[in-house]
Amino acid sequence: MQNVAEKIIPIHGDTLPGIRECSVQDIQPGGIRVNIDGRSRRAKQAFSCLVSPEIGDIVLCSENAQGMLYILAIIERPTAQKMRLAFPADTDIQLKQGALNIHAPDHINVTSDNLHCFSKKAVHVSEKAIISYEHVTAQGKDLQANYSTIRLLSKLINTIAGQMINRFKGYMRSTEDHDMVKATQLTRTATHLHSIDGEHTLINSKKCTKIDGEKILMG
């Protein structure tokens, strides 16, 4: 004889866990406490929910078969409208086509221990730029700079170049201490006037000294 319980056919099957509206009560490193139907229960943020919940948020929660609540989305934030996106793991943003644009009326901050930028062409346009580095290493094939005014303040400047060509419409150099030029050959050409003025002037040559001109005035 079969058991009577085996002959009972349920009219309704097991119902799937539904989505409920909850409010966030507390947020701790170990988990989130939500208020659901007047009861305080522990909940976890769903992997696909990127917006971090805050206390007072009205959220949508789903309960799995084991009785665990998962926050699926934030539907309302009665307090300050501030949002923080939190990615649970390494994240890649990839576009199959088109462009990615980020617009902000105030400012955009990027903070990282290591920042890498790779592109075939980089364009930076700003009305004012402030760059502060402790150590800078720049390498390339060609550098072109066009500025109305350049000011360099440094204790030491070392320039090593195979060939240097300077063209100035007007050039003025002022040295408070010593000024020394060392070269294998040194040529100075002036179209009109070449003037050397000093309290003491010394010209030393190991082999030959030549002074040539239509008029030579000494004294």
pLDDT, tens digit (0-9, with 9 covering 90-100), for 94-117: 899 999 999 999 889 999 999 999
Q: Is the pLDDT of residue 7 over 80?
A: no
Average pLDDT score over residue span 155-179: 86
Instruction: Give dist(CA 125, CA 72) in Å, integer.
Output: 41
- Which residue do the tokens 């009665």 mark? 78
Q: What is the pLDDT of residue 9?
A: 52
Are residues 68 and 46 in contact, defined by beta-carbon separation less than 8 angstroms? Answer: no
Residues whose CB is less than 8 angstroms from the CB of residue 22 and which lie 6 or more positions away in sequence, other chains included: 34, 35, 36, 43, 58, 59, 60, 61, 69, 71
Q: What is the pLDDT of residue 17?
A: 52
Instruction: Give dist(CA 21, CA 35) in Å, integer.
Output: 9
E strand map for 29-138:
31-36, 39-45, 58-63, 69-76
Instruction: Give dist(CA 43, CA 61) in Å, integer.
Output: 8
- Residue 74: strand, helix, or coil: strand
At residue 14 the predicted structure's pLDDT band, cuts being 50, 70 and 90, is: very low
Angle at 113 between CA 111 and CA 115, to 5 degrees: 75
Q: What is the pLDDT of residue 15?
A: 45
Are residues 22 and 49 in contact, defined by beta-carbon separation less than 8 angstroms? Answer: no
Q: Is the pLDDT of residue 42 over 60?
A: yes
Are residues 20 and 34 in contact, defined by beta-carbon separation less than 8 angstroms? Answer: no
Are residues 49 and 72 in contact, defined by beta-carbon separation less than 8 angstroms? Answer: yes
Nearest CA-CA partner of 50 in 85, 93, 25, 92: 85
Q: Which DSSP string do the residues of 80-104 spell out, in sequence order?
A: -----B--SS------SSS------
Nearest CA-CA partner of 28 in 47, 50, 45: 45
- Which residue do the tokens 């720049």 mark? 138
DSSP state of 5: G
